[in-house]
């Protein structure tokens, strides 16, 4: 692994450093430390931060590793052929982290908890698929963040730890000064899934988990970019502030 691999060509062929993931991870560390010092954290809070940072670390390893298969379907094909890819490692880490985090959070009943695990793991992979156009993943996360206003930060320090840095970083992302990379996008998705799990009613957790899985399937078939381009409001938001292709 080499740190110079954190710079990658984006959709316009411009070399952009994948540093915003490190910025988001630092935000999680600082938010966790601040909450521990001021409010005190129990096992749920510490576990949420540890799980989120572990998911970030798995994504960072993927960022630093040589280019491999793209898309979950191709990673599964590689695994079937006997090759363990960093993408499969990311998926296993996301599921494992989600299991531990849900187990440490207040009990909600087995069906809701299972849906929460699916939601966190599917969201981590979904946000990875969103991070192909400048600002797309961060814009989506900040929109989801509005729904997480009521979350108890002591149960989920990564929520403020990613939302505030995200607000500060969105312009740099959109204007192609830096990007999230797999580490940052996985972190945002996992955190978004965690926040929604904590604030939504049980039926809402199940519904959003199903939506996240469906979007993952569509990302592997139709592609999210095609769906966004075909939906005028999403297309407008997606292109807001971006540097036009060809400039």
Check: CB of residue 224 under 8 Å from CB of residue 129: yes
Domain membership of residue 112 (yes or no) is yes
7 lies in some domain: no
Question: % helix / strand / coil in the chain, to the nearest 5?
Answer: 70, 0, 25
Structural domain contains residue 246 = no
The predicted pLDDT at position 6 comes to 75
pTM above 0.85, yes or no: yes
* 6 domain-assigned: no
**Domain assignment of residue 245, yes or no:** no
pLDDT, tens only, 212-242: 999 998 988 888 889 999 999 999 998 888 7
Residue 1 lies in a domain: no
Nearest to 185 by CA among 156, 162, 164: 162
Residue 2 domain-assigned? no
Percent of the chain with pLDDT over 70: 88
Residue 235 lies in a domain: yes
The per-residue pLDDT for 1 is: 45
State how many domains the chain has.
Answer: 1
User: Considering only CA atoms, which of 163, 139, 155, 131 is closest in space to residue 24?
Assistant: 163
pLDDT tens for residues 40-95?
A: 999 999 999 999 999 999 999 888 876 655 656 655 565 555 655 677 788 899 99
| Residue 54 lies in domain | 14-239
Residue 121: pLDDT over 50: yes
């Amino acid at each position: 692994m080499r740190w110079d691999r954190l710079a990658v060509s984006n959709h316009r062929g411009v070399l952009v450093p994948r540093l915003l993931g490190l910025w988001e991870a630092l935000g999680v560390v600082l938010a966790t430390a601040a909450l521990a010092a001021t409010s005190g954290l129990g096992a749920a809070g510490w576990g949420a931060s540890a799980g989120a940072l572990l998911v970030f670390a798995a994504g960072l390893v993927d960022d630093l590793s040589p280019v491999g298969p793209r898309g979950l379907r191709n990673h599964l094909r590689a695994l079937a052929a006997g090759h363990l890819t960093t993408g499969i490692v990311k998926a296993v880490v996301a599921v494992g982290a989600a299991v531990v985090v849900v187990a440490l959070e207040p009990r909600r009943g087995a069906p809701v908890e299972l849906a929460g695990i699916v939601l966190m793991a599917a969201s981590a992979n979904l946000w990875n698929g969103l991070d192909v156009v400048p600002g797309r993943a961060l814009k989506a996360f900040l929109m989801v963040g509005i729904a997480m206003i009521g979350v108890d930060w002591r149960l989920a320090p990564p929520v403020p730890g990613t939302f505030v840095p995200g607000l500060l970083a969105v312009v740099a992302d959109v204007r192609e000064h830096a990007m999230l990379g797999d580490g940052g996008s996985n972190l945002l998705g996992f955190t978004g899934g965690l926040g929604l799990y904590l604030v939504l009613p049980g039926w809402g957790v199940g519904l959003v988990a199903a939506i996240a899985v469906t979007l993952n399937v569509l990302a592997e078939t139709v592609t999210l970019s095609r769906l966004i381009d075909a939906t005028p409001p999403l297309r407008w938001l997606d292109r807001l502030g971006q540097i036009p292709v060809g400039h």
